[in-house]
Structure 1
Amino acid sequence: MSPGSEPPPPGATPATHLHARHRAVMPDWLALYYREPLELTHGEGRHVWDATGRRYLDFFGGILTTMTAHALPEVTEAVAGQAGRILHTSTLYLDRHMVELAERIAALSGIPDARVFFTTSGTEATDAALLLATTHRRSNQVLAMRNSYHGRSFSSVAVTGNSSWSPTSLSPLQTLYVHGAVRTRGPYAALTDAEFTAACVADLEDVLGQAHGNVAALIAEPVQGVGGFTSPPDGLYAAFREVLARRGILWISDEVQTGWGRTGDHFWGWQAHAASGPPDLLTFAKGIGNGMSIGGVVARAEVMNSLGANSISTFGGSPVTMAAGLANLTHLLEHDLQGNARRVGGLLIERLRAVAAGLPLVHEVRGRGLMIGVELTGPDGSPAPEAAALTLEHAREDGLLIGKGGREGNTLRIAPPLSLTVAEAEEGAAILESALHRTHRTLAGEERA
């Protein structure tokens, strides 16, 4: 009998036994949701099932990754068909699927004379973008936003402005952090949108005054993902771009979570700041693969071709993942899932705002499309991570899976597949309403946790 294959000890459920095995071989810092972690075994549409056979409405999609639907036939058939021919070749060989997907992404990006480099994750895409920008500009100075998250590698942690996700202060870069990504907290929260933007531009100018010579780039999420789905007023990055362009500083738009129409109003998050035109580089990942490992960078040819040494990707752009990405992107475009995100997401956010109106623990419901954050605070207005954790548990008990984020872990993150129906949105909102009321009663001492 192989190690770990023995049956659970007396009194232990299969789930608790698997959890014990997980803890014995995985890092302590590898987080799991829920007091009794879930083993998800299969999914279909907007639903998933755990190992006991219980069904859940999925409002998190594997961290915004299941973009179209679980077990989407077009994607599963593309994966199976390609796997039956050849699984792997590497970028040293021509691959038709990779070229076709790159052509489509380049055209959709809005970046002129675009080139596309495929990676296996958003973290690796950040690494590649930073390598390109710093090489092109011959500088290791980078601007980043406070409260940001760009990945877990050494270089991506170096531009992450969220202390909860920055395990080290060591860095290969000199990172200068600027204001602007969090609208409702901080020293500029009380300003109007126009005043807020002007204050953040002034802060950017001041920060650049502290830099030594060239600055390579600004990297920014149009809507911060791990940071709790926070965003600046529309147009802020266009105003930033005017300042950057005068100095030749590149703009990297991190579209790992905002890309592919999730925000409803736009296909890319940068388009909410489109007065300045497209970014110099954009990174993507998550949703394009619908669960397959795809990431990448789109950049102007001048920037993409600036590397003076060999560089390949063994696994980036593999035949199987590229076939999946093509099928998934085709389905998304042909079924106007961006439009569905705008329509159904608009209904969902208004429904949640109505729920929040009677709950003092909800500080704000924010977002756009199917990218919605519900920030929870205590009676004194301070962040309430305990309330978020309790609400996650209550929602799970009633059959709804959601996420959480924010620097203090006090924001519920709602990001279902973009094919969400109106009926499913109503069902999820009702479950979340019940969960929030249970949390309120628990924290008030009226109900046990």
Structure 2
Amino acid sequence: MNDDLLGRHRAVLPDWLALYYDRPLEITHGEGRHVWDAQGNRYLDFFGGILTTMTAHALPEVTKAVTEQAGRIIHSSTLYLNRPMVDLAERIAQLSGIPDARVFFTTSGTEANDTALLLATTYRRSNTVLAMRNSYHGRSFSSVGITGNRGWSPTSLSPLQTLYVHGGVRGRGPFAELDDYDYVAACVDDLKDLLGHTRPPAALIAEPIQGVGGFTSPPDGLYAAFREVLHERGVLWISDEVQTGWGRTGEHFWGWQAHARSGPPDMLTFAKGIGNGMSIGGVVARAEIMNCLDANSISTFGGTQITMAAGLANLNYLLEHDLQGNARRVGGLLIERLRAAAAHVPAVREVRGRGLMIGIELTKPGSDEADPAAASAVLEAARAGGLLIGKGGGHDTSALRVAPPLSLNVAEAEEGAAILEDALRSIQ
């Protein structure tokens, strides 16, 4: 059955639409932190539909909200008043930390970042954007143009002039050997030098933890230090929270809060986990920035009632059950367990991350040379053991990405760590 579906997939879908595994997997249903394939095999899910199934598969509270809303009205567009959209916008505006916040809903993180770029370039009357090396911000024409990861950037053409800044990858690059204080200082000096050679940019867009880039991050405070330099020049700071938002890092509700010395960003973008599988993205910005557009605009599907009902139910569940705290506690145990396992595997260069956002970088033993074949082998071995994980990284996809639903319990963390340890040992 899978072979037939794979043949049909290849006959009608693009060649560049990536599939995991030598024998691609069809997931038919899920419950809690587990999913099942078409052959009835059960897997512990440590990737959550690319960090999207944030709370749990088939969460009853979300299922009930979707069912009840579907029985009333599914969609009407933003041309009409929409109570679920206003309800969710109020909650997100309050949680964002941005003063006088306005919220615009989209259907994805790509579209959210695209909107943030439109707002920043219009507000600042500049099409120059600063982005981080090794970054990923989506698959639209504009978001590809600011993506600093070669493997996810199929064209150099762009409506924007993008300048790439050091700092998003702590363990590699020209400043890697410095301590954290000197690392931040060197990155700030590099930013100042860059700004001295170009016309004033519209904004810096940055992921607090780079998702597709392999869950890499700078020392805490880097973006606060950047913000002080940018603020003097009127340059906006956009925090891409598509993967780091909603408490996944455990220590903070938003990734930007690890860099909070200078206050919140001018804008933040979100998506993925808030919908728990439903298509929700959005932008939060100060009113003066959000309202800078002088032409009509709507969103046909952004803010549609059924997704807003799901998002509100999911957010309520997350807050009421302190899933951020759970991510901190269980994620901390999982990171330490994986570090202990990796200490006996020469191919593991680093285990890094926060909360339930963990990266394992693989290299050829005794070197810093990326080993994408090893990453693929571990992915396959983990699946054979009953565990689903992801891949990423700016160096030929040689990092494993571990990001379970935030309701993961200690027993499941131990089970997944044991499977992953066996998978890592299998490549030696």
Alpha-carbon distance, 1:381 to partner: 2.3
TM-score, normalised via structure 1 length: 0.95
Match status 1:400 vs 2:368: no
1:215 to 198, 201, 224: 201
1:432 to 420, 425, 428: 420
Aligned equivalents of 1:435 and 1:302: distance in 2?
51
The SS at the match of 1:439 is: coil
Alpha-carbon distance, 1:215 to partner: 1.0
In the TM superposition, what whole-angstrom CA distance separates every residue of 1:90-117 from its partner, at most 9, and x where no partner exists?
Answer: 0000111000100000000000000000
Aligned equivalents of 1:181 and 1:116: distance in 2?
27
Match status 1:88 vs 2:75: yes
In the TM superposition, what whole-angstrom CA distance separates every residue of 1:233-287 from its partner, at most 9, and x where no partner exists?
Answer: 0000000000000000000000000000000000000000000100000000000
Match status 1:23 vs 2:23: no
The aligned counterpart of 1:201 is 188
The SS at the match of 2:190 is: helix
Aligned equivalents of 2:271 and 2:368: distance in 1?
35
The aligned counterpart of 1:353 is 339
Aligned equivalents of 1:311 and 1:192: distance in 2?
47
Which residues of structure 1 form unaligned runs of 5+? 1-13, 441-449
The aligned counterpart of 2:397 is 409
Which residues of structure 2 form unaligned runs of 5+? none
Aligned equivalents of 2:381 and 2:344: distance in 1?
18
Alpha-carbon distance, 1:439 to partner: 1.3
Alpha-carbon distance, 1:373 to partner: 0.1
Aligned equivalents of 1:372 and 1:323: distance in 2?
30
2:269 is matched by which residue type in structure 1? T
The aligned counterpart of 1:228 is 214
Aligned equivalents of 2:181 and 2:399: distance in 1?
26
Match status 1:274 vs 2:260: yes
The aligned counterpart of 1:126 is 113
Aligned equivalents of 1:315 and 1:210: distance in 2?
41
The SS at the match of 2:73 is: coil
Match status 1:344 vs 2:324: no
Aligned equivalents of 2:146 and 2:96: distance in 1?
23
The SS at the match of 2:426 is: helix
In the TM superposition, what whole-angstrom CA distance separates every residue of 1:351-372 from its partner, at most 9, and x where no partner exists?
Answer: 0000011111000000000000
In the TM superposition, what whole-angstrom CA distance separates every residue of 1:293-325 from its partner, at most 9, and x where no partner exists?
Answer: 000000000100000001110000000000000
What pairs up with 1:24-423 in 2 under 5 angstroms? 24-212=11-199, 214-379=200-365, 380-407=367-394, 408-423=396-411
The aligned counterpart of 1:8 is none
Aligned equivalents of 2:183 and 2:110: distance in 1?
30
Alpha-carbon distance, 1:211 to partner: 1.0
Aligned equivalents of 1:381 and 1:194: distance in 2?
24
In the TM superposition, what whole-angstrom CA distance separates every residue of 1:48-92 from its partner, at most 9, and x where no partner exists?
Answer: 000011100000000000000000000011111111111110000
The aligned counterpart of 1:9 is none
1:374 is matched by which residue type in structure 2? I
Aligned equivalents of 1:193 and 1:27: distance in 2?
43
What pairs up with 1:3-22 in 2 under 5 angstroms? 14-22=1-9
The aligned counterpart of 1:3 is none
2:416 is matched by which residue type in structure 1? G
The aligned counterpart of 1:446 is none
Tell me which moved more, 364-373 or 201-210.
201-210
Aligned equivalents of 1:87 and 1:330: distance in 2?
20
Alpha-carbon distance, 1:128 to partner: 0.3
In the TM superposition, what whole-angstrom CA distance separates every residue of 1:105-134 from its partner, at most 9, and x where no partner exists?
Answer: 000000000000000000000010000000
Percent identical = 78
Alpha-carbon distance, 1:430 to partner: 0.1
Aligned equivalents of 2:277 and 2:197: distance in 1?
42
In the TM superposition, what whole-angstrom CA distance separates every residue of 1:130-181 from its partner, at most 9, and x where no partner exists?
Answer: 0000000000010000000000000000110001000000010000100000
The aligned counterpart of 1:447 is none
Aligned positions, number:
426
2:217 is matched by which residue type in structure 1? S
TM-score, normalised via structure 2 length: 0.99
Alpha-carbon distance, 1:210 to partner: 1.6
1:204 is matched by which residue type in structure 2? L
Aligned equivalents of 2:38 and 2:94: distance in 1?
42
The aligned counterpart of 1:7 is none
Aligned equivalents of 1:67 and 1:328: distance in 2?
9
In the TM superposition, what whole-angstrom CA distance separates every residue of 1:388-431 from its partner, at most 9, and x where no partner exists?
Answer: 00000000001000000002110000000000000000000000
The SS at the match of 1:117 is: strand
Any runs of at least 4 consecutive aligned residues in structure 1 with deviations exceeding 2 A, and if so which? none
Tell me which moved more, 106-115 or 78-87.
78-87
Aligned equivalents of 1:151 and 1:373: distance in 2?
20
Whose radius of gyration is greater, 1 or 2? 1
Aligned equivalents of 2:102 and 2:145: distance in 1?
25
Aligned equivalents of 1:340 and 1:346: distance in 2?
9
The SS at the match of 2:105 is: strand
Aligned equivalents of 2:190 and 2:144: distance in 1?
23
Superposition RMSD on alpha carbons, in Å?
Answer: 0.5
Tell me which moved more, 81-90 or 247-256.
81-90
